[in-house]
Amino acid sequence: MTFYVTTPIYYANSLPHLGHLYTMIVADTIARSKRQKGIETFFLTGTDEHGINIERAAERNNRSPKEQADYVVSYFTKMTAAFGLDTAHGGYDIFMRTTEPFHYEGVSELWRRFANAKTPKGHDAIYKGHYEGWFCAACAGYKTEDEYAKPANPNEPPTCLVHETKLDRISEESYFFRLSDYDEVLLALYESRPDFVRPEARRNEVKSFVAGGLQDLSVSRLRSSVSWGVPVPDDPKHTMYVWFEALSNYITAIGFGNEQQERAIGFEKFWPALHLVGKDILRFHAVFWPAFLIAGGVELPRGIFAHGMWLDPNGRKMSKTLGNTVELDVLNRYFSIDAIRYFCLREMVFGQDGRFGYEGLIDRTNSDLASGLGNLSSRTLTMIQRYCDGRIPSGNISEAALLPAKRAGVDTDATTISGFVEHARDEFIRYFEEFAFSRALEEAWAIVARVDKMISDAKPWDLAKEATQQQTLNAVLYRAAESLRWLCVLLYPVMPNATREIYEQVGLPGELSATDPTKLTWGELQEGSQIGEVKPLFPRIDKAKTMEEIRSQKSEVRDQKSETRPSGRVQSETRPSGRVQSETRASGRVPLSGQHTTEAEAVPGAEGVVNYIDITDFAKVDLRVGEVRSAERIPKADKLLLMTVDIGEEKPRQILAGIAQHYQPEKLIGRKIVVVANLKPRKLRGYESQGMLLAASVGEEGRPVIATFTEDVPNGARLK
Ligand code: MSP
């Protein structure tokens, strides 16, 4: 059995940042967990080196495009080594570069197949035409009217909504890929393979995008306008569209269309892949890429998982201009690789946006790692050192010793703890396979907490004072050490260094990277074996001092003071300023912050006016977690969206919301929102609204920003 996992290949126009590091950490974790189970795994990352944005970056830096790419790649490889993600550290298997000759060969082969292919509707897959439209160099994407902002001055070009940079006007001969013929086949694909695009909310987005109709895609540029690219076979006047060429890296890297790579790695052996991508580039992967592969007669990927974006602690997009980016060199200097990996996987619910701040990272390191796992390990091993002469004691309690053990309140039945650990292991694996890393880690930490409690309740330091309790003491320490062994095996893919260290300290032989957690058997920890040297694992970080140092390097995110951890709390998604309020009705704001306001009243605090309500008033409002199932515009009502929202009841509720000018309905599908569930139903424009959703009102114009969650929450959960 084999497995193939990929990250996107990163543009070689700028240096790597947290977003890049994150996907590599996730891919690396998945790869390690597959390898642990004996599955031969191939992990690809790399750089996307062609196109106009690389050409321009090279120009700005006075380099040739290849020199520009080499420069960025050298930084990337330094970074991957520093974070233990390269081949030498058991990480990626290939750092793919699209300037490699084998890539040219493979991608040309795919193009040739295209040139002869028919669409599912029987037309030529490729045709020559004329492209007229706008193009964003930074996205390397063609932009339709709803994807750019019109300029104030009609003589200026529009700007990209993502990058806020000016678009290029293109008017030239181009090859087109007849994407419009692939809608039905793609919809059938999403239907027949529900796991093809994950998470589900993203799958729904992709489905509605395709269902809305696809336009043919320009897949070449004239060499005279973009020369830095792969020439179109048999028509060198054209270079291939960079996304077509970049996506193809996933197959050319392992040998599609070139013998040398096929021999070294094996397309036949490893394809199809699981693609991990950021949600911003999902459409390219979930729509264009499968269509290209169908045209080329190539098997489709195993699946595509789109993760969310890292935002700053205040929920803002990270950007150089705001000065709120997380610098990799700062991370590298102040934090251990494992702490960063743990934080990334624990803090971001995979698939949703997450918040990253140095303070949060320090807090998690101190609480979960130093006081949690690290402390459990050192207290267990120190006691084994002290009370058992550094040897793993026996876990058995003989008949004669049962009574004293009971007297000490220690469970004489070892299966209580082993059953707990086994169950947590099963849950851990189940969540892991669903890529619910955060949930999986919660399971592992449930083991940490349970074993910690077992030790604190048993008080080994008291047991050690009574000769009759030697077996009880031994059993408690054996159970703790055995749990540690299990934790090491489970957590190895997430924290390869720390778990190896603990493993060694427990005195365990063998390679964690090849120990299958599904095959763990309780009791295999050898009685009598010598433990290793006990060393502290996760030193506590002095928060004030470290933050001061980081700040003084000017690399700190702004507003750290107000940093909050997204622990299931309601947060306004983009801008946390502004009050949380109702958006469905002009009047009747819902008091969420404990301060009652009506339309006529002043903003609480602004003039010292605070009208308190008491908790019973607040409890009258039944707030529930809802998931948007459908959303559509209402004819002749500019502002209103008609939605159905699942709040855990038998049938979804129909809710109207005045957000149509700010949200595209299809983008809401799958979103978790907050619903006032006990509001008297009322009719708007002939439709009954059976509740109302909450949103912050931002800025002068009261732009609604829907309240949402950054962690997984079940539909119908009550907010209180
Ligand atoms: N070159 C293309 C990908 C081609 S794949 C065939 C590209 N490169 S990129 O360098 O711009 O971005 C790569 C990835 O970084 C994307 O998956 C994107 O989502 C991710 N991230 C960029 N900023 C991010 C965050 N703030 N948080 C998480 N990931 C982010 O697109």
Q: d(Cα 205, Cα 609) in Å, to the nearest integer?
A: 44
Of 175, 185, 190, which Cα lies nearest the Cα of 125?
Answer: 175
Residue 603 has pLDDT above 60, yes or no: no
Q: Are strands 718-719 and 623-634 parallel, antiparallel or unpaired?
A: antiparallel
Helices of type H across 314-374: 328-334, 337-347, 358-364
**317 is known as an active-site residue:** yes
Q: Whose CA is nearest to atom 26 of ligand 1?
A: 310
What pLDDT score does 408 carry?
93
Catalytic-role residue among 37, 66, 89, 317: 317
In Å, the largest CA–CA distance within the chain is 93
Q: d(Cα 537, Cα 342) in Å, to the nearest integer?
A: 14
CA 173 to chain centre: 39
Catalytic-role residue among 121, 150, 163, 237: 163
> Could you tell me the sign of the dihedral formed by the alpha carbons of 405, 406, 410, 415, in that order?
positive
- Better-scored residue on pLDDT, 523 or 613: 523
Residue 622 has pLDDT above 50, yes or no: yes
Read off the pLDDT of residues 402-445 as tens digits, 9 standing for 90 and up.
999 999 999 999 999 999 999 999 999 999 999 999 999 999 99
Evaluate whether 57 touches 41 at the Cβ level (below 8 Å). Answer: no
**Cis peptide bond upstream of 404, omega within 30:** no
Helices of type H across 170-324: 183-192, 200-211, 242-247, 249-252, 259-264, 267-270, 282-283, 289-296
Q: d(Cα 162, Cα 143) in Å, to the nearest integer?
A: 11
Evaluate whether 6 touches 273 at the Cβ level (below 8 Å). Answer: yes
635 — pLDDT class (breaks 50, 70, 90): confident
Q: Which of 220-224, 401-405, 554-558 has the lowest mean pLDDT?
A: 554-558
Q: d(Cα 92, Cα 45) in Å, to the nearest integer?
A: 7
Q: Which atom of ligand 1 is nearest to the CA of 246?
A: 6
Check pocket membership of 309 for ligand 1, CB cut-off 6 A.
yes
Q: d(Cα 167, Cα 137) in Å, to the nearest integer?
A: 7
Q: Whose CA is nearest to atom 8 of ligand 1?
A: 10
Ligand 1 centroid vs 10 CA: distance in angstroms?
Answer: 6
Evaluate whether 580 touches 696 at the Cβ level (below 8 Å). Answer: yes
Return the amino acid letter for 133: G
Read off the pLDDT of residues 48-99 as tens digits, 9 standing for 90 and up.
999 988 998 898 889 999 999 999 999 999 999 999 999 999 999 999 999 9
**388 is known as an active-site residue:** no
Return the amino acid letter for 717: A
Evaluate whether 705 touches 668 at the Cβ level (below 8 Å). Answer: no
Q: d(Cα 394, Cα 392) in Å, to the nearest integer?
A: 7
Q: d(Cα 514, Cα 432) in Å, to the nearest integer?
A: 17
Check pocket membership of 8 for ligand 1, CB cut-off 6 A.
yes
**Cis peptide bond upstream of 517, omega within 30:** no
Q: d(Cα 289, Cα 177) in Å, to the nearest integer?
A: 12
Check pocket membership of 50 for ligand 1, CB cut-off 6 A.
no
Residue 556 has pLDDT above 60, yes or no: no
Which of helix, strand or coil describes residue 471? helix
Read off the pLDDT of residues 467-494 as tens digits, 9 standing for 90 and up.
999 999 999 999 999 999 999 999 999 9
Q: d(Cα 1, Cα 256) in Å, to the nearest integer?
A: 20
Read off the pLDDT of residues 21-41 as tens digits, 9 standing for 90 and up.
999 999 999 999 999 999 999
Check pocket membership of 9 for ligand 1, CB cut-off 6 A.
yes
Angle between helices 414-433 and 470-491 (to 10 degrees): 10
What pLDDT score does 516 carry?
98
**307 is known as an active-site residue:** no
Of 285, 291, 280, which Cα lies nearest the Cα of 180?
Answer: 291
Q: Whose CA is nearest to atom 29 of ligand 1?
A: 19
Q: Whose CA is nearest to atom 30 of ligand 1?
A: 19
Residue 665 has pLDDT above 60, yes or no: yes
Return the amino acid letter for 47: T
What pLDDT score does 320 carry?
67
Which of helix, strand or coil describes residue 253? coil
**Cis peptide bond upstream of 681, omega within 30:** no
Residue the block writes with tokens 């058997």? 521
Read off the pLDDT of residues 280-339 as tens digits, 9 standing for 90 and up.
999 999 999 999 999 999 999 999 999 999 999 888 888 766 778 888 999 999 999 999
Check pocket membership of 276 for ligand 1, CB cut-off 6 A.
no
Evaluate whether 475 touches 522 at the Cβ level (below 8 Å). Answer: no
Q: Whose CA is nearest to atom 18 of ligand 1?
A: 278
Q: Which atom of ligand 1 is nearest to the CA of 250?
A: 6
Read off the pLDDT of residues 669-684 as tens digits, 9 standing for 90 and up.
889 999 999 888 888 7
What pLDDT score does 617 carry?
67
Q: Which atom of ligand 1 is nearest to the CA of 279?
A: 19
- Better-scored residue on pLDDT, 572 or 285: 285
Q: d(Cα 168, Cα 190) in Å, to the nearest integer?
A: 33
Catalytic-role residue among 160, 344, 388, 488: 160
Q: State the average pLDDT for the chain.
A: 88
Q: Of the residues 11, 230, 349, which should be mutated to test ligand 1's pocket, given the most ligand atoms within 8 Å of the CB?
A: 11
CB neighbours of 694 closer than 8 A, spacing ≥ 6? 570, 580, 581, 582, 583, 590, 592, 623, 673, 674, 675, 676, 706, 707
Check pocket membership of 226 for ligand 1, CB cut-off 6 A.
no
Mean pLDDT of 510-531: 97
Check pocket membership of 228 for ligand 1, CB cut-off 6 A.
no
Counted residue by residue, the chain has a size of: 720
Mean pLDDT of 556-575: 29
Residue 175 has pLDDT above 50, yes or no: yes
Read off the pLDDT of residues 381-391 as tens digits, 9 standing for 90 and up.
999 999 999 99
CA 39 to chain centre: 23
Q: Which atom of ligand 1 is nearest to the CA of 20?
A: 15
Q: Are strands 220-222 and 235-240 parallel, antiparallel or unpaired?
A: antiparallel
**320 is known as an active-site residue:** yes
CB neighbours of 427 closer than 8 A, spacing ≥ 6? 440, 443
**545 is known as an active-site residue:** no
Evaluate whether 52 touches 228 at the Cβ level (below 8 Å). Answer: yes
Joined tokens for residue 523: 């009791």
Q: Of the residues 280, 284, 292, 344, which should be mutated to test ligand 1's pocket, given the most ligand atoms within 8 Å of the CB?
A: 280
Evaluate whether 702 touches 681 at the Cβ level (below 8 Å). Answer: no
Paired strand residues for 274: 5, 303
What pLDDT score does 597 carry?
25
What pLDDT score does 85 carry?
98
**Percent of the residues in the chain that have a pLDDT greater than 70, as a whole number:** 90
666 — pLDDT class (breaks 50, 70, 90): confident
Check pocket membership of 162 for ligand 1, CB cut-off 6 A.
no
Residue 655 has pLDDT above 70, yes or no: yes
- Could you say which DSSP state residue 400 is in? H
Ligand 1 centroid vs 437 CA: distance in angstroms?
Answer: 20
Read off the pLDDT of residues 120-136 as tens digits, 9 standing for 90 and up.
999 999 999 998 889 88
Check pocket membership of 245 for ligand 1, CB cut-off 6 A.
no
What pLDDT score does 560 carry?
31
pTM check: above 0.85: no
Return the amino acid letter for 18: L
- Better-scored residue on pLDDT, 506 or 651: 506
Q: d(Cα 526, Cα 571) in Å, to the nearest integer?
A: 49
Residue 351 has pLDDT above 80, yes or no: yes
Joined tokens for residue 210: 């395709």
**50 is known as an active-site residue:** no
Check pocket membership of 281 for ligand 1, CB cut-off 6 A.
yes
H/E element holding 142?
Answer: strand 141-143
Residue 590 has pLDDT above 60, yes or no: no
- Better-scored residue on pLDDT, 651 or 616: 651
**20 is known as an active-site residue:** yes
Evaluate whether 427 touches 443 at the Cβ level (below 8 Å). Answer: yes
Mean pLDDT of 551-557: 59
Ligand 1 centroid vs 26 CA: distance in angstroms?
Answer: 14
